[in-house]
Amino acid sequence: MERKGRVTIPTDAGYEAETKEIALKWGADAVRDCDGTKLPENAGELAEKVYETYFVTRGDVAWAKSHPEELQHFFLMSERKTARSEKLAIFPAEGYYAEQVKPDYSAESLRYWQVYDRTAGKEHKLWHVSAEEGCVYIEGAKPYHEYTVSFLAHNVWDSTQMYNYITNGWETDKHSPYDPRYPKTAEHIKAQLKSWLETHPQVNVVRFTTFLYHFFLVFNGSGKEKIVDWFGYNATVSPRALEGFEKEYGYALTAEDFIDEGYYNSPHRVPKKAFSDYMDYTMRYVAKTVKELVEIVHAYGREAMMFLGDSWIGTEPYGKYFTELGLDAVVGSVGGGVTVRMLSDMPGLRYTEGRMLPYFFPDTFYEGNESKAVAELNGNWLTARRAMMRNPIDRIGFGGYLSLAAKFPKFVERAGEVCDEFRSIYENAKGKKPHNAVKLAVLNSWGRLRSWQCYMTAHELWYQQTYSYQGLTEALSGMPAEVRFINFEDVKAGALEEVDAVLNAGDAYTAWSGGENWLDEAVQEKVRGFVARGGGFIGVGEPTACAKNGRYFQLADVLGVDEERGLSLNTDKYNVTAMGEHFIFAETPEPDYGEDKKNIYALEGAQVLKMAYSARCNRKVNVGEVKAAVNEYGEGRSFYVTGLPYTLENARLLYRALLWVTKKEEHARRAYSENPNVDCHFYEESGKYALVNNAESEQETVFYDMNGNAKKISLAPMQILWL
Amino acid sequence: MERKGRVTIPTDAGYEAETKEIALKWGADAVRDCDGTKLPENAGELAEKVYETYFVTRGDVAWAKSHPEELQHFFLMSERKTARSEKLAIFPAEGYYAEQVKPDYSAESLRYWQVYDRTAGKEHKLWHVSAEEGCVYIEGAKPYHEYTVSFLAHNVWDSTQMYNYITNGWETDKHSPYDPRYPKTAEHIKAQLKSWLETHPQVNVVRFTTFLYHFFLVFNGSGKEKIVDWFGYNATVSPRALEGFEKEYGYALTAEDFIDEGYYNSPHRVPKKAFSDYMDYTMRYVAKTVKELVEIVHAYGREAMMFLGDSWIGTEPYGKYFTELGLDAVVGSVGGGVTVRMLSDMPGLRYTEGRMLPYFFPDTFYEGNESKAVAELNGNWLTARRAMMRNPIDRIGFGGYLSLAAKFPKFVERAGEVCDEFRSIYENAKGKKPHNAVKLAVLNSWGRLRSWQCYMTAHELWYQQTYSYQGLTEALSGMPAEVRFINFEDVKAGALEEVDAVLNAGDAYTAWSGGENWLDEAVQEKVRGFVARGGGFIGVGEPTACAKNGRYFQLADVLGVDEERGLSLNTDKYNVTAMGEHFIFAETPEPDYGEDKKNIYALEGAQVLKMAYSARCNRKVNVGEVKAAVNEYGEGRSFYVTGLPYTLENARLLYRALLWVTKKEEHARRAYSENPNVDCHFYEESGKYALVNNAESEQETVFYDMNGNAKKISLAPMQILWL
């Protein structure tokens, strides 16, 4: 087996010799710079590939200073202020970080400002602004109504640079991002790239960090994060962009289209038409502009690599225009299986790369913390590896100060093993079609655009409101299932005809559950018809929820469950007993429901699988709360569960649920391992099986081949066994 | 002290001597019959007052049989059936108890039947009915839409009689209720009453059980309760009533006005205009008709007593027309403080009576269960007594087979003590204005009409979705607070000007929380203004909730908290630390939140009092869930808590919260007992204090008089100490 290649390591000027040593141990063929480090002059001697970070719309401090009229903007909402009389003064920038947010009082910006009566939900027209005082004066206000000012502000400090510099206490010139929507900057970013390429001949991979517009990240008065949306388009806006939009679409966007009552069109919101139009408009502009930059890079004989983050907005790897960018590669941070698949499933690239954890920073790499660093590496690797068994990324890498990692010999050794194991997985799995028992469509309001990105807010950060659903995508990332992400338009266009099962999961009224999309008769008809003809339906949390027509779950009839919101207590519930053992729970009788849901009850005819009872209940009929249930609907089947955070047991449960709703129970004896800690994958082309021990302890399992032949197998901790 | 009077006991023919004995022990001055017992001929010799049950619209089996066209109706919805093609057949009565429900295929009824496309939420016009087959044939259906038939059915077996007879396996003639909306029955019920009065000279109290229309209670195919609504008007309906309504109101009601998507206008639903109109229309009709009956009773020199239950619909003791009925008395079952106040606060009566628990039935009074019977009596008495200290009912009583109770000497003794204690409370508290520290308005969609009836479904039955709110009314029933119940129209008319604080509690979108009423700008203005000028606000569960304009809790600014429904995860929450000790929790640091609420977060400026953290959270900033918080708003204050089921601790907590939000903290040292198990009441007229030990164990407390003088006091189990 090749013990070299597909691995990137960080380096630093003055650390060349040690870099070479580790490169040899890990088989690294690429070096990169990082925040706080500098590539050595002779980086090209350290590895075949040399990456260097490049900023497109920030970093040229002189340019930003000399072109204040071409700086980037975002739309912000002031705090909500209550009128006590007919007059009210609001300081729009109050509560924002003055170092980052500068209200733009220019005439072309002010045109877009709005005052909103948030109590009435209406724009309020009587106001004027004093730029000197930084204040909006409202007249004719209604006492005890809340008002806000929506305003365009310049974003005068790049959110990532600011975050790093505030967090680390560094001092530097502020990077004020400039906007290529404006003509001078549009020319400048191309000229600047050319000149950079000329002065950086040793770099053969331009690591764009990133392109034009940062995700929406704004800071509060104390310099702490105030609003963060890794998917947010709010920092792409400008008077110029708005004018262009109006010309093209024939209608004008307003501040409220961006402010969205203060939700700022977070990905959890069911997207509205105006915002969707704006996203498409921006994607096309970003694609066109980035394409020009990539062509310059190629003209200089270098590779163009995009970092998946920071100023990545508008690139949309799962959007309609991504392949037009012409990129060679995308690199992103890997926190687990979902982030692996988010990278490895991207279309139209020569390769993808994942930056593994831990990051070589003093917060982990300090004296006495070696075993924790190794543990973090193993934890990260085990979850990422699950997904790589289905579709590996092409490269892995590390970031930070290599000198810190080098002080931990056990870490260096274990990282070397990981690199080797990665290469062996790549060799066995890349491009080899792994056997999929089931074709599954994940249905939400975003569909393909947010493939593997569902439920996320600030990249992979944990949120109490989403981890019980994010466990589903994490589980799917390493499952023998072909997964696609579809939206409600896709459903109406017939997308369910191509799959065996559909999954809808999330809290009511979120984009993930789908909200009002479920009131669309055509959607209901298609999904009911799909299940009735034999399709499978999996609902988690508050699937199909939208209160209307006597139901909370619009497809309660399909799911066999609905939610008692205290409005139908007059109707007796008798289906209150769990039915004991079931195929789905056979290997995982006690799953983890995460945040769970209360008040779920079963309709007559459904089969309750798991039920909780209130200890307080003194009724003679004890009305329980359904945790899991199945239902038969026509020829099809459904499975409902309140929540499934990521655990190996829950992943297994979800797989068995998929097999059950699609009537493919026999696959629980085909390319299968009985122990939920051990995954089994079968690669049809090579005829190889992989048994993967996802646990850090020895595991026994019964392995079934594609013909159902069983064999007892023992696996060492974390072992992959190729058969 | 008088050891006689104010007590009613059941008796039975053949049990006269023993009845006299117990009447002496308990000081009973009234006897009554019960289901399954018969008054002795010489009942008048047993006690001064003789009650006998009287049915107005049922019981005359011959009349019902000979007037099938004048039987009562209700509107019912068929099961939801999914169309698989353009044709669909629905058997409307499927799933209902055939012995009770007979679809009315007469032309005057069919006029009101409707077929609904529940997927589209629209009436479907293409259908015809076959009375022979009991089937509705639908044409032009849309495949995979759900359809229902809304139909008028005769209610051919009185729900209570049926329940008793099914439950006890009795055999009897079915009572089919007849409807006095029809002319012959209207005359008949009066004639029948007169003749009954003539043949029952020994009865001096006619115990109406009850008047015209039963609460909505319908049974399923297995003869079990299917839908129950103790407040439901659905069994008052008839073609005749609907015609009369149209004539008077100028618009026609439809089946859907009653079916209400299948919710049947349960009291948990925010009432709609058509249904409110119909309620008022029915109340006026019931008042007029009952008045005529009561006048007959009075003409015969007897008293008219109404049983609060069964066929009580339309009487509405807290409605606009109740005093017009001219009743002497109301008797109701007492399960705790709320049911005491529901009775004792009723206007315009000469007296009220509460039937205490346990009921003398073999389910409690069986060999070896004496201590449990005593325990049930004590439990019932302690909760009821709390409310009697504020406003006592005028009489108490028992029901069932006296012969069963007589077999338990300890029970007979303890019941005698209870009767004595009741009389002593009555003497000390009746009409003596007890000191109230606070005037509180309970705000919901129903207001005064549902005084003390909030959150109820089937009378006092426990429901998981409501007990965390019902604890509030139970707590208030015995609290030194003047409580009134108001609705949103009252708020707009200025009702808050008369109170110190307002309480809004319930699940989002229920009538109790208020739903869309909170989008009424005038309501928001009034409540904000009230608090800003110094009023208090208490919110429990999902107060003021209605998703709109960037808020879930419309008065989040007043409450200082809102609910994170997964739509605003992009906004950082920093107010995540509970502030430690607070006046409100001083005596009850670990309250019981009942069903609790998840995802509540505090706005900046609010003070979090109680917070829970997820053990799973791995963010550096641990975002918690608020359980309780306070906020200052203008001159006023608010308190929020996720839920407060009834416990003595929670009752105390609510009282302290009331004192805090109204800035009357000094009352925690005025007519006050430090121990939450011991209540203190002060009767201004007599100058007496009562210290009430609500616990079944000895309690020590510090008692404060109205001047704040403190004194240590010891109380025996359940003791009342008059000072």
List pLDDT tens digits, range A144-174: 999 999 999 999 999 999 888 887 777 778 9
State whether A571 and B506 contact (CB < 8 Å).
no
Please indicate whether, in this complex, the C-beta atoms of A84 and B532 are within 8 angstroms of each other: yes
Percent of chain A with pLDDT over 70: 99
Token readout for A629 is 């249930």
Q: What is the dihedral of CA A23, A12, A408, A718, to 10 degrees?
A: -50
Cα separation, B318 vs B341, whole angstroms: 12
Dihedrals phi, psi of A706, to nearest 5 degrees = -65, -15
A270: DSSP letter: P
Q: Which residues of A touch B143 (CB under 8 A)?
A: 525, 529
**Sheet order of strands, A438-443 included:** A481-486, A438-443, A501-506, A536-541, A636-641, A625-633, A607-612
Element (H, E) at A116: strand A114-117
Chain A residues 525-554 with a CB less than 8 Å from chain B: 525-526, 528-529, 532, 547-551
Give exposure, B585-624, as e/b (b: 16+ Cβ within 10 Å): bebbeebbbbbbbbbbbbbeebbbbbbeebeeeeeeeebb
Return d(Cα A302, Cα A285) in angstroms, integer. Answer: 23
Q: Which of B463, B521, B548 sits opposite A569 (nearest CB)?
A: B463
Among residues B149, B90, B84, the alpha carbon closest in space to that of A528 is found at B84
Nearest-Cα residue of chain A relative to residue B598: A595
Q: What is the pLDDT of residues A453-488, one digit of tens each?
A: 999 999 888 999 999 999 999 999 999 999 999 999
SS3 B143: coil
Q: Is the pLDDT of residue A539 over 90?
A: yes
> By percentage, how much of chain B surpasses pLDDT 70?
99
Task: Tell me the pLDDT tens digit for each residue of B248-283.
Answer: 999 999 999 999 999 999 999 999 999 999 999 999
pTM, rounded to two decimals? 0.96
Q: Which residue has the higher pLDDT, A110 or A618?
A: A110
User: Mean pLDDT throughout B230-243?
Assistant: 97
**pLDDT band, very low/low/confident/very high, at B622 (cuts 50, 70, 90):** low
* Secondary element (H or E) of residue A395: strand A395-397
Sheet holding B710-715, edge to edge: B672-673, B699-704, B710-715
| Per-residue confidence (pLDDT) for residue A618, from 0 to 100 | 57
What would you report as the CA-atom Rg of chain B, rounded to the nearest whole angstrom?
27
Active-site annotation holder among A260, A310, A490, A557: A310
Distance in angstroms (rounded) separating the CA atoms of residues B377 and A542: 43
CA-nearest residue to B142 within chain A is: A525
| The amino acid at B434 | P
Q: How far is CA B506 from the centre of its chain?
A: 15
Nearest to B227 among A510, A525, A570 (CB): A570
| Percent of chain A scoring above 90 in pLDDT | 93
Say if residues B513 and B563 touch (Cβ distance below 8 Å).
Answer: no
Query: Nearest CA of chain A to the CA of B549: how many Å?
Result: 5
Read off the pLDDT of each residue in A50-56 and give the average, rounded to a whole number: 96
Q: Is the pLDDT of residue B600 over 80?
A: yes
| Alpha helix (H) residue ranges in A369-520 | 370-388, 402-406, 409-429, 467-477, 488-492
What are A713's strand-pairing partners?
Answer: A701
Mean pLDDT taken over chain A: 96
Q: Given the DSSP bridges, would you call strands B561-563 and B600-602 parallel, antiparallel or unpaired? A: antiparallel
Closest C-alpha to B260, from B242, B278, B272: B272
pLDDT in tens, A396-440: 999 999 999 999 999 999 999 999 999 999 999 999 989 999 999
What are the tens digits of pLDDT across the range A364-404?
999 999 999 999 999 999 999 999 999 999 999 999 999 99
B11-26 pLDDT, tens digit per residue, is: 999 999 999 999 999 9
| pLDDT tens per residue across span A271-293 | 999 999 999 999 999 999 999 99
Two tokens at B110? Answer: 């069919």
Record: contact B567-A142, CB cut-off 8 A: no
Tell me if chain B has a CB within 8 Å of the CB of A269.
yes
CA–CA gap between residue A236 and residue A462 (Å, rounded):
26
Tokens of residue A618, six digits: 């003194």
pLDDT in tens, A18-40: 999 999 999 999 999 988 889 99
CB B539 within 8 Å of CB B639: yes
Of A220, A261, A529, the CB nearest to B143: A529
Q: Is the pLDDT of residue A620 over 50?
A: no
Q: What is the pLDDT of residue A170?
A: 77
Beta partners for residue A81, in sequence order: A147
- Active site members of B: 310
Within 10 Å of residue A580's Cβ, how many Cβ atoms?
Answer: 9
> Is the model's pLDDT at A621 over the cut of 60?
no
Residues A174-226 have pLDDT tens digits of 999 999 999 999 999 999 999 999 999 999 999 999 999 999 999 999 999 99
Pick from A61-75, A310-324, B28-42, B180-194: least confident: B28-42
Q: Which residues of chain B neighbour A262 with C-beta distances below 8 Å?
A: 550, 568, 571
Q: How far is CA B155 from the centre of its chain?
A: 24
Paired tokens of A167: 């967090």
ipTM above 0.90, yes or no: yes
pLDDT score, position A629 = 98
Residue contact B84–A532, C-beta within 8 A: yes
* Dihedral sign from CA coordinates of B506, B528, B318, B179: negative
Nearest to A118 among B463, B529, B549 (CB): B549
* Whether B269 and A119 lie within 8 Å, measured CB to CB: no
A197 vs chain B: nearest CA distance in angstroms?
37
pLDDT of residue B620: 47
Lowest-confidence segment of A698-712, B224-238, B574-588 by average pLDDT = B574-588
| A 445-504: CB under 8 A from B | 457-458, 461-467
Query: Would the CB atoms of A145 and B266 count as touching at under 8 Å?
Result: no
Of A528, A618, A625, the CB nearest to B462: A618
Residue A467 in contact with residue A594, Cβ under 8 Å?
yes
Output the pLDDT for position B618. 57
Model pLDDT for residues B444-471, shown as the tens digit of each residue? 999 999 999 999 999 888 999 999 999 9
pLDDT tier at A444 (50, 70, 90 boundaries)?
A: very high
Give DSSP secondary structure letters for A550-601.
TEEETTHHHHSEEE--SS-TTB-----------GGGSS-SS---TT--SSEE
Surface of B (639-678) touching A: CB under 8 A: 645
Per-residue pLDDT for A673 more than 60? yes
Query: Which of A709, A511, A324, A210 has its CA nearest to residue B569?
Result: A511
Determine contact, residues B537/B527, Cβ cutoff 8 Å.
Answer: yes
Residue B1 has pLDDT above 80, yes or no: no
Q: Is A485 left (phi over 0), alpha (psi -120 to 50) or beta?
A: beta
Whether the per-residue pLDDT at B621 is higher than 80: the answer is no
**Cβ contact (<8 Å) for A262 and B568?**
yes
Question: What DSSP string runs through B242-265?
Answer: HHHHHHHHSS---HHHHHGGGTTT
Q: Is A291 helix (H, G, I), strand (E, B) or coil?
A: helix
